[in-house]
Structure 1
Amino acid sequence: MLSILDRYILRKYLGTFALLLLLFIPIGITVHLAEKIDKILDNEVPIIEVIKYLYDFTIYFANLLFPLFLFLSVIWFTSKLANNTEVIAFLSSGVSYYRFLRPYIIGATIVCISALIFSMYLAPKASKGFNEFSYNYLKKGKQDRDQNNVYTQINDNDYIYVSYFNVNENIGSNFTLEHFEGNEMKYKIAATQIKYNPEDSTYTLFNYTKREIGKTSDILERSQRLDTVFSFDLEDLTPVTYIAETLSFTELNDFIKKEKARGSSNIGRYEVVRYKRWSLPVSAYILTIIAVAVSSVKRRGGMGVNLAIGIGIGMIFIFFDKVFGTMAEQSSFSPFIATWFPNIVFAILAIYLLRNAKR
């Protein structure tokens, strides 16, 4: 059962966190809208689409930066408790420092569970709307979706390659499809250009060549133009880098399994997204303990010193998270280690600061 102390600190914990979100999210929306408003006006985006975009951006922004908001909110209200000598009063009444931490841990648990549900199921929908708006209406996004040197395994036997694919026109250059049975290639299809026809989900090949590999001689088939169907989807030719962010937890697991079977080169990026959905919510505990340890001591400079220390630690945490995440996406560095390393480092820091604060 929660005591008066627990309820008091827990109310401050959750209330200050919610208040900080309500204060900073509108600022983030305003800055982002000011940056993109010229492109939105140039593309004559309907107002309802802009409203949906801002809603998706709000969820996307809150999910991305909630650890920093939580960290600063805990430092803010705990510093106020320390400056008002309330922390000293609690501890002088016979409450141990670890007992003093209990409502903070309860609050971190509530935030962690909420963040898990949020990141697993709600944030992916917002991320999809946010990214699709960017690619549909913002000029830079449309350019970024064009793909170079796409090579992927679409099933156990077939591999496809295009040197360039234009998303706006659904046209690719230097297309090849190689079919293997075991370790032997049975046939190879090549075309200087491939075009996807969305009205009937067919493909048109230009300067088409099919070579069937025989034991003694090959069979060659040529055509200037060929309309055909393939077992792969358009998405296999246009792998979208943000796709993992738009999938729920179960969908993401199935997607990664499918991409591993295909030999996708973006597995590191997808796994970073998956592991972050666990590591960021868990960071609520670590950042809460660090924030309490830093701000529960009354300092000469008051709240300003605590906030300065807190902002510095928060920026370092985000820096670590981004750097190691990028390393895992663009190299063979383990995505699991990359996403959990900041938590491990800051957990060690939390233990050290907690011991000092206890003294």
Structure 2
Amino acid sequence: MKIIDWYILKRYLLTFFAMMVLFIPIGIMIDVSEKVDKMIANEAPTEAIIGYYIDFTFYFASFLFPIFLFLSIIWFTSKLANNTEIIAILSSGISFRRFLRPYFIGATIIAIFSFFMGMFIVPDASEGYNDFYITYLKGGRDKGRETTKVFNQINKNEFIYVSSFTPSTKIGYNFTLENFQGNELQYKITASNIRWVDKDSTYRLSGYMKRIVGEDNDIIIKENRLDTIFDFDLEDLTPVSYVAETKNLFELNEFIQQQRDKGAPNINTYLVVKYKRWSLPVSAFILTIIAVSVSSMKRRGGMGLNLAIGISLAFIFIFFDKVFGTLAEQSDFSPLLAVVIPNLLFGILAIYLLNNAKR
């Protein structure tokens, strides 16, 4: 690479990471000021608080990735434009496309960074973040994560239902398991509650009753308490978004396949999480082109106008991403299209702005 490439690439990467270093502590301070009273009231240990804010850092950075990227590129590119450095570069015979080369190299580095962070680091951080939030900020109350009215097919022949399930206590209420052969019910198990016992790796049923359907008469078996093993995991009873967001690349692929085999009704929720992780590196290139196109021209409003345009576009991007993601989760809309459409729309915008910038 030439000196100009190193010059732009260095400023690209340094400004991006400097932006993260500047904004993340601000986010942490705001979070501390809002939640310190609850941490003290619930006696959160120092080690747990430190772990929470380490997880918060990755969680926060992943969520605001488009804004960090936009602001950093607009910031240093606007400075280049205001100092007439871009005019000097283009006047030397370098084309605008050639001028973009170091930006694409930087976008590739950021895309690789965001890929590994989103696939392997953020899932663990998301789990730690949510666990601390429920344990010490909700005072152990799982209202934020409590599953209600869970109905799931766990294999070809069996279906389970609980009216509610609390992950922290691992207790489900009004449990039902039905076994079918074809369209005929073979037996049905009910219990007032079901609890996972870690020590024995079994499920404990209280108020247990099993009805075996016979040709003439049904057989009913009752127990006050019964420890047994079932062919389903606790993940079948936890909130779908929480489960998907805490799994890395390989775990998520395996989990989605398991849910497909079971005929899970909410498979779109898992797929949206999966496709968004793959789309994040792609968006790095699209956002880079838009940011350079917006800020490479010297404007009367200066850097402030460029930052205002950049922040607006970044929030619009996040808005579209959330809207289409929710649409896919709540309807039969294709999860792949829900993730592709925001990138496609902004990709078209990037091409249009790039052509204008060239002129």
Shift of 1:224: 4.7
Change (3 A) 1:181 1:48: same
CA distance in 2 between partners of 1:100 and 1:177 (Å): 64
The answer (yes or no) to whether the contact 1:202–1:227 under 8 Å persists in 2 is: no
How do 1:196-275 residues align onto structure 2 when only pairs under 5 Å count? 196-214=196-214, 216-231=215-230, 232-239=232-239, 241-275=241-275
Aligned: 1:38 with 2:5: no
- Conservation of the 8 A alpha-carbon contact between 1:204 and 1:225: no
* Structure 1 position 347 matched with structure 2 position 357: no
Q: CA deviation at 1:240?
A: 5.5
TM-score, scaled relative to structure 1: 0.94
SS at match of 1:144: coil
1:169 is displaced (CA, Å) by: 4.8
SS in structure 2 at match of 1:12: helix
Letter in 1 for 2:129: F
The one-letter code matched in structure 2 to 1:83 is N
User: Once the 2 structures are TM-superposed, how far is the Cα of residue 243 of structure 1 from its aligned partner?
Assistant: 1.6
Per the alignment, residue 97 of structure 2 pairs with: 98
Q: CA deviation at 1:210?
A: 2.1
Secondary structure of the corresponding residue to residue 306 of structure 2: helix
Deviation at residue 323 of structure 1 after TM alignment = 1.2
The CA deviation at 1:99 is: 0.6
CA displacement 1:57-94 (0-9 Å, x = unmatched): 10111122122111111111111111111111111111
CA distance in 2, matches of 1:75, 1:330: 36
Is 1:87 aligned to residue 73 of structure 2? no
Equivalent residues in 2 for 1:1-359, closer than 5 Å:
2-139=1-138, 142-167=142-167, 169-214=169-214, 216-231=215-230, 232-239=232-239, 241-359=241-359
CA–CA distance in 2 between the matches of 1:256 and 1:325? 17
Identity of aligned residues (%): 58
The Cα shift of 1:185 comes to 2.1
Deviations 1:91-132 (A, max 9, x none): 111111101111111111111111111111122121121111
Distance in 2, Cα, partners of 1:16 & 1:168: 41
Structure 1's 173 and 28: CA in aligned 2 closer, same or farther, altered over 3 A?
Answer: same
CA distance in 2, matches of 1:166, 1:298: 56
When residues 42 and 107 of structure 1 are mapped into structure 2, their CA distance, relative to the original with a 3 A threshold, is same
2:355 is matched by which residue type in structure 1?
Answer: R
With the length of structure 2 as denominator, give the TM-score of the two structures: 0.94
| Equivalent residues, number | 357
Deviation at 1:147, TM superposition (A): 2.1
AA aligned to 2:234 is L
CA distance in 2, matches of 1:256, 1:14: 35
Q: CA deviation at 1:218?
A: 3.2
Q: Tell me if the contact between 2:146 and 2:239 (Cα under 8 Å) persists in the aligned partners.
A: no
What secondary structure, in the 3-state scheme, does the structure 2 residue paired with 1:199 have?
A: coil
Q: Report if the CA contact (8 A) 1:75-1:295 is conserved.
A: yes
- Contact 2:142–2:166 under 8 Å retained in 1: no
More deviation in 265-274 or 343-352?
265-274
* Unaligned runs of at least 5 residues, structure 2: none
Mapped contact 1:153–1:261 kept (Cα < 8 A): no
Conservation of the 8 A alpha-carbon contact between 2:178 and 2:188: yes
**Secondary structure, in 3 states, of the residue corresponding to 1:191?**
strand
Whole-angstrom CA distance in 1 between matches of 2:11 and 2:89 = 15
Instruction: Measure the CA separation in 1 of the matches of 2:107 and 2:246.
Output: 26
**8 Å Cα contact 1:211-1:218 kept in structure 2:** no
For 2:37, the aligned partner's letter is D
1:241 Cα shift? 3.1
